[in-house]
Chains A and B, each alone.
Chain A
Amino acid sequence: MPSISAGDTAFILVSAALVLLMTPALGLFYAGMVRNKNVLGTIMQSLIMISVISLEWIYLGYSMSFGPDVSGIIGDLSWFGLKGVGVAPSETYATTIPQIVFMIYQCMFAVITPALITGAFAERMRFGPFLIFSLLWALIVYNPVCHWVWGSGGWLSERGVLDFAGGLVVHLTSGAAALAAAIVVGPRRGFRKENFMPHNLPMTLLGAGLLWFGWFGFNGGSALAANGIAGTAFVSTHLAGMSGMAMWTLVEWMHRGKPTTLGAASGAIAGLATVTPAAGFVGPNSAVIIGLLAGICCYLAVTAKTSLGYDDSLDVVGIHGLGGIIGTFCLGIFASKAVNPSGADGLLAGNPAFLGTQVLGIVVVGIYAFVASWILLKIMNAVVGLKMSEEAEMAGLDVSEHSETAYNL
């Protein structure tokens, strides 16, 4: 039996707690951008994922994602209810820490991913159908894709597709689902006629700061050991976040005449999301370039959205979806075995084939996540209905769905 490393175990436990923090942080990040009648409902859509998905994860999700492989497609259900998942290390995953620690660390990723999607249908989705959608989405999209990319025997993993901390598994799946959701649910009433101004940007900035803090656990912890790779991933994360923030702010300043705080926060999140698949596989200079690219590309995507006419209210597609694509693509360019011997060499290290492998990963995950989410949402829309009634939407999520008011001043 492989021996357990105290240092690795301590680091992954702390990283799991850091990643958990990102889910309420995301709630704050999103809630600051909505109107003051939708604050609690928006936070709740992130917060409640901690319950729904954790429950799903211990009974089904972990086994589907990481359990014994069935033809490269999905894990079987032999680990139902964490059967056999205990303090002994796994033979395949994170072999120096108890498997139960690996399980709870991965649980936090599964929790935040459907929470990311909620930005696309902000301010108009009914709570009950949202819960059902999120649960089914975890089963139909997250768990299979997680298995393909990270599961032992997963078919994309066998093809050599790399994703350090979730550019494909987390950001592209949620971004593609967000696009489907924005299309199927339809725009907020009054879209393009009324002002949908953010009601509390300090809340958004606090959320962005906490997300950045948690991201060190998200990417650093994905080394699954307290080692040099964790250090590389930690540094890449910070460098991409800071360069994304600098670039977005600069581009916005030149384009619109004013550097905005929402722009700075958006750029940071774009940089952090984009470096996620690459964090432990690329050097610091590559991480800076990835962050700069994220800053400008995501700014352009978010600006272009306005003319495309769909209401991805809080820009999940333009920031997380596009970030996941750019980051996974950039990994194909900048990956280096000199940085991480268990990674790969990319285009710049003389291995263009790896870039092709990464493109395969993007195409497969992007199309699968979009199509599966679209079908799921279409069926749910026909059977139970997704969007709030006009009266409920006008009154806001807080009163209509939760019988509460965020601010009683």
Chain B
Amino acid sequence: MKKIEAIIKPFKLDDVKEALNEIGIKGMTISEVKGYGRQKGHKEIYRGAEYVVDFIPKVKLEIVIDASMTEKVIDTIQAAAKTGKIGDGKIFVVPVEDVIRVRTGERGKDAI
């Protein structure tokens, strides 16, 4: 099993969610995060005082999937989240040791 962590532009969230639904991914966890990479922050000016805002709002998606789905999910997210401009985000793939469904106690693939 793998966990896919994708940091994407917030306005692309709906596109990514729909695309993942179409390939059968039925659940995900998202969080609003801030960060920066190659995309620099921006300047804001208040009464002449200039502030550099380094951290840009992004959305982080977390999905746990069967390892066989990894490439398909990556391709789907990349296609749906891409604008071609700097700041589109990143996808991380992390191995997952086990998954437990709290309600039933099912484990592993069955619990995804």
Q: Judge: A and B partners, yes or no.
A: yes
Residues of A whose CB lies within 8 Å of any CB of B are 33, 195-198, 256, 258, 260, 262-263, 266, 299, 302-303, 305-306, 315
Contact between B49 and A306, CB atoms less than 8 A apart? yes
CB pair B49–A260 under 8 Å, yes or no, is no
Can you report 14 residue pairs joining A to B where beta carbons are below 8 Å apart?
Answer: A33-B46, A195-B51, A195-B53, A197-B44, A198-B46, A256-B48, A262-B46, A262-B47, A263-B47, A299-B48, A302-B47, A303-B47, A303-B48, A315-B47
Chain B residue numbers with a CB within 8 Å of A197 are 44, 46, 51
Give Cα distance in the complex from A302 to B45, angstroms: 12
A263 (CB) vs chain B CBs: closest residue: B47
B36 to chain A, nearest CB (A): 14
**Chain B residues near A303 (CB-CB < 8 A):** 47-48
Inside 8 A of B51's CB, which chain A residues have their CB? 195-197
CA distance A33 to B45 in the complex (A): 13
Give the residues in chain B near A266, CB-CB below 8 Å: 47
B44 contact set on A, CB distance < 8 A: 197
A315 vs B48: C-alpha distance when bound (angstroms): 11
Interface flags for B37-65 (1: CB within 8 Å of A; 0: not) read 00000001111110111000000000000
9 shortest interchain CB distances as A-B pairs: A303-B48, A195-B51, A302-B47, A256-B45, A197-B51, A262-B46, A302-B48, A306-B49, A198-B46
Q: Which of A258, A299, A305, A315 makes the CB contact (< 8 A) with B45?
A: A258
Contact A306 B48 (CB under 8 A): yes
A263 to B46, CA, bound (A): 8
By a CB distance below 8 angstroms, the chain A residues around B46 are 33, 197-198, 260, 262
Q: A258-B45, A262-B46, A302-B48 are in contact. List 13 more A-B contacts (CB 8 A).
A: A195-B51, A195-B53, A197-B44, A197-B46, A198-B46, A262-B47, A263-B47, A266-B47, A299-B48, A303-B47, A303-B48, A306-B48, A315-B47
Interface residues in B41-97 by Cβ distance below 8 A to A read: 44-49, 51-53
Please name all residues of chain B whose beta carbon is closer than 8 Å to the beta carbon of A315 when the two chains form the complex. 47
Chain B residue with the shortest CB-CB distance to A192: B49
**Across-interface contacts of A33 in B (CB, < 8 A):** 46
Number of A-B contacts (CB under 8 A): 28
Question: How far is A263 from B47 in the complex, measured between Cα atoms in Å?
Answer: 6
Nearest-Cβ distance from residue A347 to partner chain B, whole angstroms? 32
Chain A residues, Cβ within 8 Å of B53: 195
In angstroms, Cα B46 to Cα A299, docked, is 11
Bound Cα distance from A266 to B51, whole angstroms: 18
- Bound together, the chains give a CA A256 to CA B51 distance in angstroms of 13
Min Cβ gap B57→A in Å is: 15
Chain A residue at smallest Cβ distance from B49: A306
The chain B residue with its CB closest to the CB of A301 is B48
A132–B52 Cα distance when bound, in Å, is 38
Using Cβ atoms and an 8 Å threshold, which residues of chain A touch B52? 195
Most buried by A among B46, B52, B53: B46
Roughly how many angstroms separate A302 CA and B46 CA in the complex, as a whole number?
10
CA distance A256 to B46 in the complex (A): 10
- A266–B46 CA distance with the chains assembled, in angstroms: 10
Residues of chain A within 8 A (CB-CB) of B49 are: 196, 306
Could you tell me the distance in whole angstroms from the C-beta of B45 to the nearest C-beta in chain A?
A: 5
Q: How far is the CA of A197 from the CA of B46 in the complex (A)?
A: 7
Which residue of B has the minimal Cβ distance to A265? B47
> In the bound complex, how far is the Cα of B53 from the Cα of A306, in angstroms?
18
Complex CA–CA separation, A306 to B52 (angstroms): 15
- The CA-CA distance from A363 to B13 in the complex, in Å, is 62
Bound CA span A302–B48, Å:
7
A46 to chain B minimum Cβ distance, whole angstroms, is 19
- CB-CB nearest in chain B for A298: B47
Interface centre among A33, A195, A262, A303, by most B CB within 10 Å? Answer: A195
Bound form: Cα–Cα A301–B53 in Å: 25
Nearest A-chain residue to B44, judged by Cβ: A197
Smallest CB gap from A307: residue in B: B48
Q: Which of chain B's residues have a CB closer than 8 A to the CB of A260?
A: 45-46
CA distance A293 to B46 in the complex (A): 21
Chain A contacts of B48 at CB under 8 A?
A: 256, 299, 302-303, 305-306
Alpha-carbon separation in the docked complex, A260 to B44 (Å): 10
Which chain A positions have C-beta within 8 A of B47? 262-263, 266, 302-303, 315
Q: Which residue of B lies closest to A198 (CB)?
A: B46
CB distance from B34 to the nearest CB of A (A): 13
B48's nearest neighbour on chain A, judged by CB, is: A303
Q: Which residue of B lies closest to A255 (CB)?
A: B48
What's the minimum C-beta distance from A88 to chain B, rounded to whole angstroms? 48
A304's closest neighbor in chain B, by CB? Answer: B48
User: Chain B residues near A302 (CB, 8 Å)?
Assistant: 47-48
CB-CB contacts below 8 Å: B1-57 with A:
44-49, 51-53
Min Cβ gap B58→A in Å is 19
Q: Complex Cα distance A123/B53, Å?
A: 21
